Structure 1
Amino acid sequence: MTDDLGVSHGTGTPALTAVADHQSKIAALLAPTPVVVKPLADCLGLALAADLTAPISLPPFDNSAMDGYAVRSVDLAGTTPEQPVLLPVHEDIPAGRVDVPPLQPGTAHRIMTGAQMPPGADAVIPVERTDGGTEQVRMFAAVQPGAHVRRAGEDVTAGATVLAAGTTLAPSQLGVAAAVGAAELPVHRPVRVLVLSTGSELVAPGTTLQPGQIYESNGLMLAAAVREAGGEATLLRFVPDDVEAFHAALAPHLADTDLLITSGGVSAGAYEVVKDALTGTGVEFTKVAMQPGMPQGCGRYRDGVAVVTLPGNPVSAMVSFEVFVRPALRAAAGHLATRRPVRQARLTEPLSAPAGKRQYRRGRFDPATGGVTLQGAPGSHLLAGLARANCLLEIPEDVTELATGSTVDVMLLE
């Protein structure tokens, strides 16, 4: 007998965990992070914790959209290059002047971009349509009422919500917050993540490899992924395959850690230090119905620290982070947008996938054509293909073959 994932039962082989079930378990591990108030300059990439309401309108006053002259449009009626109008210039109004005098009929005020419109003026004529005079100015075109005037409240009205809670604060969001006068914002503290990469075979890039050694890449990659997702990452590397060394390496960091991410040491072989060290501590290990990334684990370690254990092969580790960890990190840190954008794309070549497992293949999506091209073979150790990819193709568990031109879902990584 087989279940809906095509996994055998009654043969002694444990059923595989569905991807969605493992996602839910990891999401449940992380509680929302505390709300802190930070200066705007320190809020980049964080999630707004409460709606931001504008105390003022934007613009806060009628102002000039051009360098030119503030006028009464009626005074320029019928003006043409052949029949210019000559007006006396009574005032200069640079941006920032607060004592702006009214404009009298039959006169002009020279005005700069962003400067407050004088009472009585209803239009601005650009300097390019004049002779640029400072005491009197010759104007060569008529203007309509409201021409080149930015009206108060045209962008934002006082009392309006300019940013909703959960908004990720990128440069433009910080810009509008500053424009309405906010000096600081309530934001969710980032999730504090300890990334632990284990393996006695691992050495630092830049050193000379000895036989049997490989350069450590998972820790750096996963720590960067945490930061890109909006978290705070501490990287702990080169912990040997020894249970006591594992616990000793973690101990100094636990008080300041919300989530521990490990990579490697969770398969079925010998010397699986992560599994050996965490079994019986509140962390459960399972096999998820996916490729790559089948061996997984999650739970809680000492002092209730959330733990996610990822496979050791680099592509497996990174795909698992995208599928399981990134959405949970962003949700806990208050972001409304927790998942990568998903698009539909057409395959530029055929592919095959294992029955009963959700496959994630590296791809290059071309938004101009809507096509997606595979990057590298399915092997979980083939990192170069992932480095070339800008998306992951998500192939459902019940699909084993797809022809060229078939439509697939792609998770955009860029």
Structure 2
Amino acid sequence: MTGILLTQALEILHQNCRKIDETEYVSIEEAVGRVLAEDVHALIDQPPFPRSPLDGYALSAGDTEGSSKERPVSLKVIDEVFAGGFSERRIVPGTAIRIMTGAPIPDGADCILKQEDTDYGMDTVKIYTSLKPWQNYCFAGDDYKKGMTVIRAGARIGAAEIGVLVGMGSTSVKVFRRPRVLIMSTGSELREPGEPLGPGQIYDSNLHMITAQMRIWDMDISAYSIVHDEPDDAAAFIREHAGQSDLIVTTGGVSVGKKDIMHDVMKILDAHQLFWKVCLKPGSPTIFGLYEGKPLIALSGNPYGAAANLHLLVRPVLAEMAGRPDLMPRKVRAVYDSGFLKSSKVTRYVRGVYDNGHVKTTGSNESGVLSTMVGCNCMVIIPAGSTGVEPGEEMDVLLL
């Protein structure tokens, strides 16, 4: 298929990628950002014992009846307990135990009086208010009880999830394997940073931009490299690493020039091409196909064309493979303060900065210009057939 709409391209991509169902156990330290492969059930009650939620005195509510600042009740302080310790003494009528936040509540106590409502007595304490049974009392299992489902399969592990896992003593967790991405940049003019530039040569920003974005999205990179404009070399690189990869992403060589090698590469690999060219700007001549069942997305070599379609086409594939709906870009409406006066035969994606319901252009939107992506957090969607957008019009914006 040639010259298809973005919606058609996304549907073809959806039909030809699969969620990765292989799982692995990782340590808690390595679990941040991973997707849970099974429900997590509490291993213990949390807290595992009744604990004090504040600094004060553990006592019996019955001993505080009628107490006030004017007519305080006095209780004998028989012990003191801190977080990490415990008291072997039992509360009986007329006694109290000094207690600190997080400490186990002693037997016989049914409430905790905050120290601000006392005279802070050490041997005998004066009580300035009355309490009800179980007031300021944190029961065992108040957060969660043993056996309770505390995190559902499919959840992405963040700081709170790590806290819950560690709080019940877990040292490892079962997660889905991350997608492994093979990245190839084509072009005999490309050089790595630190290498001297000869006539007509440039440093390869695309390769490192794409690998950086994969790391930001928490993907694994199986291999990445520059390959010169030799179809056999490019095909050999893909063959070598495809077996350890779930997705192949290339940049460059997708148009109709003499050195646009990806068409030949697809033939050499006997890959099944499913579309070429998507009706959008920038990066229209994207190729998509399957090599040994692995999705292969060949992006434009123009830096902004590659960057835009990394979000428009590659990102949805990775979201599905990784079970990461949070990875999908979100669309909002915003007032376009800058406007865009060019006409657009096809849907155009203009880089911009979104802030509080307004969006403005960051500068040049030419495909070969990358510097105006710095600070960009969205793309303004200019619909096909537009004769220009005046400043102040409301537009759809894709947040990145």
TM-score computed with the length of structure 1 as normaliser: 0.86
| Preserved CA contact (<8 Å) 1:263 1:311 | yes
> Alpha carbons of 1:154 and 1:363: their partners in 2 closer, same or farther (altered >3 Å)?
farther
Q: CA deviation at 1:99?
A: 6.2
Q: CA deviation at 1:207?
A: 3.7
Q: Does 1:23 align with 2:6?
A: no
1:165 equivalent among 150, 153, 161: 153
Map of 1:65-84 to 2, 5 A cutoff? 65-81=53-69, 83-84=71-72
> In structure 2, what is the equivalent of residue 287 of structure 1?
277
| Preserved CA contact (<8 Å) 2:42 2:144 | yes
Give the fraction of aligned pairs with identical amino acids, expressed as a percent: 33
Q: How big is each residue's C-alpha offset from its partner over 1:26-78, in whole Å with a ceiling of 9 and x where there is no partner?
A: 23333222122222222211111222233444334432111222122343345
Map of 1:2-401 to 2, 5 A cutoff? 16-33=3-20, 34-81=22-69, 83-97=71-85, 101-143=89-131, 145-279=133-267, 281-284=270-273, 285-301=275-291, 303-352=292-341, 354-367=343-356, 370-401=357-388
**Over the residues paired in the alignment, what is the CA RMSD in angstroms?**
2.6
Q: CA deviation at 1:262?
A: 0.4
2:285 and 2:54 map into 1 onto residues whose CA distance is 63
2:265 and 2:2 map into 1 onto residues whose CA distance is 24
| Preserved CA contact (<8 Å) 2:365 2:372 | no
> In structure 2, what is the equivalent of residue 11 of structure 1?
none
> In structure 2, what is the equivalent of residue 9 of structure 1?
none
2:3 is paired with a residue whose SS is coil
> Alpha carbons of 1:399 and 1:100: their partners in 2 closer, same or farther (altered >3 Å)?
farther
Q: How big is each residue's C-alpha offset from its partner over 1:311-335, in whole Å with a ceiling of 9 and x where there is no partner?
A: 1111111111111111211221222
2:385 and 2:89 map into 1 onto residues whose CA distance is 75
1:16 is paired with a residue whose SS is strand
2:258 and 2:89 map into 1 onto residues whose CA distance is 85
2:385 and 2:200 map into 1 onto residues whose CA distance is 39
1:260 is paired with a residue whose SS is strand
2:51 and 2:385 map into 1 onto residues whose CA distance is 62
1:83 and 1:392 map into 2 onto residues whose CA distance is 70
Q: Which runs of 5+ in 1 are unaligned?
A: 1-13
Moved more, 386-395 or 156-165: 156-165
1:129 and 1:258 map into 2 onto residues whose CA distance is 64
1:223 is paired with a residue whose SS is helix
1:70 and 1:87 map into 2 onto residues whose CA distance is 11
| Preserved CA contact (<8 Å) 1:192 1:259 | yes
The one-letter amino acid paired with 1:409 is: D
> In structure 2, what is the equivalent of residue 4 of structure 1?
none
| Preserved CA contact (<8 Å) 2:82 2:100 | yes
Aligned residues: 397
Q: CA deviation at 1:228?
A: 1.9
Q: CA deviation at 1:237?
A: 2.5
> In structure 2, what is the equivalent of residue 6 of structure 1?
none
1:23 is paired with a residue whose SS is helix
| Preserved CA contact (<8 Å) 1:226 1:326 | no
| Preserved CA contact (<8 Å) 2:182 2:247 | yes
Q: How big is each residue's C-alpha offset from its partner over 1:266-304, in whole Å with a ceiling of 9 and x where there is no partner?
A: 111111122322236224251101111201112222x43
1:256 is paired with a residue whose SS is coil
> Alpha carbons of 1:397 and 1:178: their partners in 2 closer, same or farther (altered >3 Å)?
farther
> Alpha carbons of 1:154 and 1:198: their partners in 2 closer, same or farther (altered >3 Å)?
same
| Preserved CA contact (<8 Å) 2:344 2:382 | no
TM-score computed with the length of structure 2 as normaliser: 0.89
2:342 and 2:68 map into 1 onto residues whose CA distance is 73
| Preserved CA contact (<8 Å) 2:344 2:383 | no
